[in-house]
Structure 1
Amino acid sequence: MPAMSDILLRVGRLNYVWTNTESLLIYIIAHLLKVEKDAAIIVFLTLNTTRARIDLVERLAKLSSTPAEDSRAVLALMTRLKRESKMRNKYNHCIYSFDENGEISSTQLMRLVEDDRHVKYGKVEQLDLREIERLENSIKEIVEISKALWIFIRASPSFHDEL
């Protein structure tokens, strides 16, 4: 079982790479809306959830006024980002369970799942070496998404003066 400090370090890294990567959506919003970075920052900060920001970017990318190449690139990147958001959401919205030694042994999701007759909450998942590997892979993928976003941003002529 990984030590608590190792897990918390990884969760911290996950949040760090996520926040840096999500902030790049400002440039994507500016590009797709054809506005200055300041206006895109206002739009970005007005939308107070990751989901809303990604939804906006996807919808803008789908507009007929968006060049097909830009649309394909942005939608592919948003698909990857949404996939990794599941890991980020898990570790930002869970409760940690501890073993007899005080080490984190599992996560419990704080989410309701209901059907016609039952309400369930708190899916428990073991925090074993396999899960740590998935966490590490998610961190690496978010870094790769960030790099790909930067490549897209730098290729946009509208940002050459601002970068």
Structure 2
Amino acid sequence: MRFIGPFKVSASTLAMKEGNQRFRDVLTLLGQLNYTWTNTESLLIHLIAGLARVDMETATVIFLTLNTSRARVDLVERLAKLERTDPQTRQDVLSVTRSMMSEARLRNKYNHCIYSFDDTGENVSTLLMRISDSGDRLKYGKVDAIDDAEIANITSSINRLIATNRDIWALAKKHGFPV
């Protein structure tokens, strides 16, 4: 391992040059998690269009103007909670946004960390890039292994996001939102 600041980080090119499949599999899986999240998040445009009663172009501008996932989901949930929204539509929308946001913590973890691995690329870990004040001390750089159990957790999250994606499409069609 090489040291960069207080973290042990080895060169990713070494692991890639040696063709370590485990390291490549982890990177592919994290890419799939990010892709699945982003693709599902983009479907909020249809919910914005339907709930705000605007065309897709306007809904897209609104979506792109909000620069965080949390802000986009908050908007959709607030639109759903308007009194004018049919109670079944409200329930359906809140169900899918809650499902989506239940995966946000894991997605955020992997988008806001750096990775550490040994020279073979076998032992991959995350280094969380967040400061935690704890009494009179600071904590940072929490290390978590990406072991078989964590790979299963990431895979399950991807599958839940895929299901949420399908649920959003079904909801949009069911309630006549622009698709």
TM-score w.r.t. length of structure 2 = 0.84
The one-character-per-residue Cα deviations of 1:35-65 (angstroms, maximum 9, x if unpaired) are 1111100000000111110111111111111
Letter in 2 for 1:154: K
* Residue equivalent to 1:79: 98
Change (3 A) 1:158 1:98: closer
More helix by share: 1
Larger radius of gyration: 2
- Report 1:118-157 matches (<5 A): 118-157=137-176
* Residue equivalent to 1:93: 112
- Displacement of 1:66 after TM fit? 1.1
- Displacement of 1:116 after TM fit? 4.2
CA-based RMSD: 1.6
2:127 touches 2:141 (CA, 8 Å); kept in 1? yes
Within the candidate set 72, 77, 83, 1:64 is matched to 83
1:96 touches 1:104 (CA, 8 Å); kept in 2? no
Partner SS for 1:28:
helix
* Residue equivalent to 1:3: 22
Report % sequence identity. 45
- Displacement of 1:104 after TM fit? 4.6
Residues of 1 paired with 2:162 and 2:121: CA distance?
31
Deviation above 6 Å: which 4+ runs of structure 1? none
2:22 touches 2:121 (CA, 8 Å); kept in 1? no
- Report 1:15-26 matches (<5 A): 15-26=34-45
| Contiguous gaps of at least 5 residues in structure 2 | 1-20
Partner SS for 1:103:
coil
Letter in 1 for 2:35: Y
Residues of 2 paired with 1:89 and 1:104: CA distance?
21
* Residue equivalent to 1:45: 64
Within the candidate set 4, 14, 31, 2:50 is matched to 31
Partner SS for 2:103:
helix
Partner SS for 1:114:
strand
- Displacement of 1:11 after TM fit? 0.7
Residues of 2 paired with 1:118 and 1:69: CA distance?
49
Query: Across the two proteins, how many residue pairs are aligned to each other?
Result: 160
